[in-house]
Amino acid sequence: MVGREKIKVLLFSANVCKVNEKVIQTYYILITMKVSEVFNPGGFPVHTYNPRNQLELEKQFADYLDSGYKLLSLTGPTKSGKTVLCLQLISKEQGIWISGGDIREENDFWLAIVHKLELYTETTVGHDRERTETVSSEVTGGLSAFIANVGSNVSGSESTTAHRAQTVSRAEHPRTVAINALNKQKMPIIVDDFHYIPHKIQINIVRSLKTPIFEGLRLVLISVPHRAYDTVKIESEMVGRVQQLKIPLWGEDELIEISKRGFPHLNIKIDNEANKILANESFGNPQLMQEFCANFCKFNKITESLPLCTPIPGIPKGDFFSGIADVITSKVDYDILARGPRQRSDRKKRAFVDGSKGDIYKAILTALANTGPKTVVEYEELRSKLRSVLMGDLPQLQQVSRVLAQMERLSSISEGKPKILEWDNSTNTLYLLDPYFAFYLRWAIRDKSNQKHLESL
């Protein structure tokens, strides 16, 4: 990928050697790259892509594309590399990519396919009709002396041809047009964030695509782990026709590989211990690791490749991560959840062990932060952390459940905005979906809360 990169020829300390009595001078050529080109959180990791070969994810995906005749349910934590894996094997040009967040009505899904395939839902046909008319006339002499003598007859005829253009329009349902085309072209469909699509529309989509799937259409549905079996639940006839591919959280070595692949492009060498700290704070998420590596460069005032391979001393400390938490994450999301929905009366204020006070919304968020925070939290663990945060007067399960349900609604109140968290009332389990929000709780909420507690002792 040298197209966007600037090449500098460095004429420093050229190596000189003799080969067959000839003096050979060697110059070093360095491809100068910007930090944003190497570490690009949110973009495709051209220079830091880690296929995680030991998991054989690419092989499993390629095997599905080769065999087909099933629906592929691709699941994994938010920002864990699901989309990147798909793009590695199916580019935007090779497949029909649909974002679940854009689907509000069923027709949105089918029209997305129609537009991608450059089809039309209405056909207009023109017809040119020709009509010939013959006009005859006859005049008898007794009617007028000026026209003919008495007793004589005059007769004649004239033909005229008229052309009339007619158009006939025929409109077809977008679903019909899309499915007919898919049956012929078999272009794979990738639905990113399938879990954002309303449940009823999910049912209609899967039912409509059953036959094309059985005839060889490749359909990939990308979602979060606890929604892996939605496709089976919404359509019982898909049992046995759904292939699962799970993307696990990233391990320490896999995250460090991002650093090892990226920093050499910038002629930077960092300490092994620093690599481990960056990886351990990433919540098993490659995008956060990309953020940390990029910010590590900015912290050391590096914007592009250095002329020489340079070791960068120093290990990231707490203030490094605290500073990032205020920059790369949104305090607005936390404030919305902590404030809760509007209500007529003030909520009950509770005493915190650090000497502060707050309502149940703030108490739950603080308790969640003190779980690690973890990305999956059972109610009993959350209750245990509430006990360590509050000075007595613990809220009951019904209260906690109601508040978490409200938080879930508030976390995605903006149209198309992904949820930050999700509360499963049937299992009393909280899923923290956004690793960036978890990172914010870790460094902007938990550590400050702990510091206040220590100062009060």
* pLDDT tens-digit map of 135-155: 444 444 443 433 344 444 444
In a domain, residue 273? The reply is yes
Cα(81)–Cα(250) distance, rounded to whole angstroms? 9
Write out the residue range of the structural domain in which residue 427 sits: 328-456
- Cβ partners under 8 Å of residue 456, min gap 6: 353, 354, 355
Mean pLDDT of the chain: 82
Distances (CA, A) of 102 to 175, 180, 409: 17, 23, 18
Give the whole-angstrom CA distance, residue 191 versus residue 108.
Answer: 12
Given a cut of 70, whether residue 26 has pLDDT beyond it is no
More confident call, 437 vs 190: 190
Q: Which pLDDT score, from 0 to 100, does residue 167 have?
A: 65
Q: Does 239 lie in the same domain as 266?
A: no
How far apart, in whole angstroms, are the C-alpha atoms of residue 431 and residue 441?
A: 14
Closest CA to 96 of 192, 189, 233, 204: 189
Cα torsion 348, 352, 357, 363 to 10°: value is -60
**Strand bridging mode 421-424 / 429-432:** antiparallel
Instruction: State the Rg of the chain over Cα.
Output: 35
- Give a yes or no: residue 25 inside a domain: yes
On whether residue 130 sits in a domain, the answer given is no
- In this structure, the answer to whether residues 341 and 426 fall within a common structural domain is yes
Around Cβ 154, how many Cβ atoms within 10 Å?
Answer: 11
Structure tokens belonging to residue 63: 């095997």
Per residue in 75-112, pLDDT (tens digit) is 998 889 999 999 999 999 999 999 998 999 999 999 99
Q: Same structural domain for residues 392 and 412?
A: yes
Q: Are 29 and 6 in contact (CB under 8 A)?
A: no
Nearest to 294 by CA among 257, 263, 336: 263
Taking the C-alpha atoms of residue 178 and residue 181, their distance in angstroms, rounded to an integer, is 5
Task: Tell whether 74 and 220 lie within a shared domain.
Answer: yes
Q: Does residue 165 form part of some domain?
A: no
Of 3-12, 222-231, 310-319, 442-451, the one with minimum mean pLDDT is 3-12
Read off the pLDDT of residues 196-209 as tens digits, 9 standing for 90 and up. 898 899 999 999 99
Please report, for the domain that includes residue 192, its CATH number.
Answer: 3.40.50.300
Query: CA-to-CA distance for 323 and 443, rounded, in angstroms?
Result: 9
Q: Is the dihedral of CA 342, 346, 347, 350 positive or negative?
A: positive
One domain, residues 404 and 342: yes
| Collapsed DSSP state (helix, strand, coil) of residue 113 | helix
Give backbone dihedrals phi and psi of 108, rounded to 5 degrees, phi first. Answer: -60, -40
Q: Compute how many other C-beta atoms are within 10 angstroms of the C-beta atom of residue 282.
A: 24
Residue entry with tokens 């790259």 = 33
Give pLDDT, residue 230.
72
Question: In angstroms, rounded to a whole number, what is the distance separating the alpha carbons of residues 9 and 82?
Answer: 39
C-alpha–C-alpha distance, residues 32 and 265, integer Å: 8
User: Could you give the number of structural domains in the chain?
Assistant: 3
The more confidently predicted of residues 164 and 147 is 164
Instruction: Please report whether residue 132 resides in a domain.
Output: no
To the question of pTM greater than 0.85 for the whole model, the response is no
158-167, 170-179, 363-372: range with lowest mean pLDDT? 158-167
The 8-class DSSP code of residue 81 comes to S
Measure the CA–CA gap between 138 and 158, rounded to whole angstroms: 12
In terms of DSSP H, where are the helices of 265-346? Answer: 272-280, 286-299, 318-328, 331-339
Q: Of 121, 98, 247, whose CA–CA distance to 174 is shortest?
A: 121
Q: What is the pLDDT of residue 342?
A: 80
| Together in a domain, 349 and 297 | no
Has residue 153 been placed in a domain?
no
Mean pLDDT, rounded, for 153-178? 68
Q: Supply the pLDDT for residue 224.
A: 84
Same domain for 270 and 238 = no
Compute CA distances 2 → 6, 7, 42, 407, whole Å: 8, 9, 21, 46
Same domain, 265 and 381: no
Report the percent of the chain where pLDDT is more than 70. 77
User: Does one domain contain both 432 and 301?
Assistant: no
pLDDT of 165 reads: 61
